[in-house]
Structure 1
Amino acid sequence: MRAKFLSIAVLVASSVPAQAQDVMLAREQLYGQVLEHPLVFGVEPAFHAERADGFYLMEWVPEGQSVEDWQQMQTITAHRAVGSNHGDDQAAALGENIAVNFLTGYRDNCATEVDALPLPITGAQGARAAFAAYMGCSQVRGTDHAEEMVILVMVGASDSYTLQWAERSPARAAFDREAFSRWRPRIEALTLAHLCTVPDGEEPPYPSCN
């Protein structure tokens, strides 16, 4: 099933960075389930694509930025059927493996030591397994910028999903751990995400997810 983009679902209050006091939630039919998720940088994604092997990607950036030249980016991915033959214990292992693969990619592309920190989460309702983490590279290899992100990995009934919020800044020797607190509202925003299964043929706004 191809993802169906729904412009906007509902507004909810949340503790988020200063650029928005409310978080808009959208619902997308992404393969076998509907993903309700926050919209940080507007409604329409700057880029979206689907591969033939069942991988879907959406990216949002602030107004005035692009997917080629950005300072912040919100990303959602969905991978079809990767957990379809997994029990709950195996689903947890799958979620961990997805998070580890992101960390490996950060390390491969970082000219310095990667700063990584698992984050406790209380949201991610509807997922069989969920993991959150912060990752930071103080200088991306071959560039003059640093990159940080928080990521939420969710394993649903049969598919997997990731929600990411990334930021670029000038390269530096290392990150200041005392400044990490500004990332906590971002992971709190991502963990508003919710997975639900709707009856065949149900159309937006997917009332079964209420």
Structure 2
Amino acid sequence: MRARTTTVAALAASLLLGAAAQAQAPQSLRVISPIFGQLVSFAMPSDFVAAFENTKDGHYIREAVLKGETPERWTQMITVTGEKGMTLTPGSSPQIFAGTIAGGFKSACPDSFAARPFGAMTFGRFEGFVAVIGCGRIDSGPTRHSETALLITLKGATGYYTIQWAERGPESDEPPLNDDRWQARLHDLSPIDLCPIMPGEAAPYPSCVNKR
């Protein structure tokens, strides 16, 4: 009888802990931003806040970090970028664009770079490519650390866009590419899509919010 009581108590405690963890999980907010002629739409966890934004010479970037962190000192960052008119570049594709970004990572850590492609995907009606890339050891930031990112590239009507969810951790021989959290984060960012900018429409962009 004592064993049964203990088992029931342990099960009850486990259920309570599971419910508490679920209650503490951050909710997601639909983020829709006009960037170079299209609306970029995705879901962002509510514990992230925008910390930096800039547009210069056909390049757009916005960085969001966890509440309490900064663009200089962060553990996780969600970055959105846009490249104006890039679809006119001969031979361009979401996979090639992802490879260019991966090359930038590799130049920062040639001895500990690794990549894991998830492959070509479609977001709405737009072509994309998804991969996990990272450095096991990198010296940018306050201390040496690993830096790994889920990289999503999208080919828009005239420009290219990326959504990146990066995380810093302890330095290692190679970044944690095979962790299940990268697939989970791709799911957390979904639905990802590009919408047309409708004349006279302002935020919250109902034509994109209600898109099916």
TM-score interval for Structure 1 and Structure 2 normalised by the shorter chain: 0.7 to 0.9
- State whether residues 49 and 56 of structure 1, in contact with CA within 8 Å, keep that contact through their aligned partners in structure 2: yes
Where do residues 143-158 of structure 1 align in structure 2 (5 Å cutoff)? 144-158=144-158
- Give the drift of 1:171: 0.6
**Residues 1:27 and 2:32 aligned together:** yes
User: Any unmatched runs of 5+ in structure 2?
Assistant: 1-20
- State whether residues 58 and 83 of structure 2, in contact with CA within 8 Å, keep that contact through their aligned partners in structure 1: yes
Task: Report the 3-state secondary structure (helix = DSSP H, G, I; strand = E; otherwise coil) of the residue aligned with 2:78.
Answer: strand
- Give the drift of 1:190: 3.0
One of 61, 64, 70 as aligned partner of 1:57: 61
Name the residue aligned to 2:96: 97
Where do residues 156-171 of structure 1 align in structure 2 (5 Å cutoff)? 156-171=156-171
- Give the drift of 1:122: 5.3
- Give the drift of 1:43: 6.5
CA separation of 1:122 and 1:96: change in aligned 2, threshold 3 A: closer
The one-letter code matched in structure 1 to 2:71 is V
Between the aligned partners of 1:148 and 1:158, the Cα distance in structure 2 is 29
Aligned length: 186
CA deviation string 1:51-84 (max 9, x = no partner): 0x1111100101121100111101000111111x
Between the aligned partners of 1:187 and 1:44, the Cα distance in structure 2 is 18
Which TM-score applies when normalising by structure 2? 0.78
Between the aligned partners of 1:97 and 1:122, the Cα distance in structure 2 is 14
CA separation of 1:111 and 1:159: change in aligned 2, threshold 3 A: closer
Between the aligned partners of 1:21 and 1:182, the Cα distance in structure 2 is 15
Structure with a larger share of its residues in strand:
2
Q: Structure 1 residues 168-177 or 181-190, which shifts more?
A: 168-177
Q: Which has the larger radius of gyration?
A: 2
The one-letter code matched in structure 2 to 1:64 is G
Q: How much identity, in percent, do the aligned residues show?
A: 29
Task: Report the 3-state secondary structure (helix = DSSP H, G, I; strand = E; otherwise coil) of the residue aligned with 2:138.
Answer: coil
Task: Report the 3-state secondary structure (helix = DSSP H, G, I; strand = E; otherwise coil) of the residue aligned with 1:46.
Answer: strand
- Give the drift of 1:41: 5.1
CA deviation string 1:14-63 (max 9, x = no partner): xxx97635321111111211111122354641010110x11111001011
Flag as ranges the 4+ runs of structure 1 deviating above 6 A: none
Name the residue aligned to 1:194: 193
Structure with a larger share of its residues in helix:
2
Which TM-score applies when normalising by structure 1? 0.78
Between the aligned partners of 2:152 and 2:175, the Cα distance in structure 1 is 21
Name the residue aligned to 2:74: 70
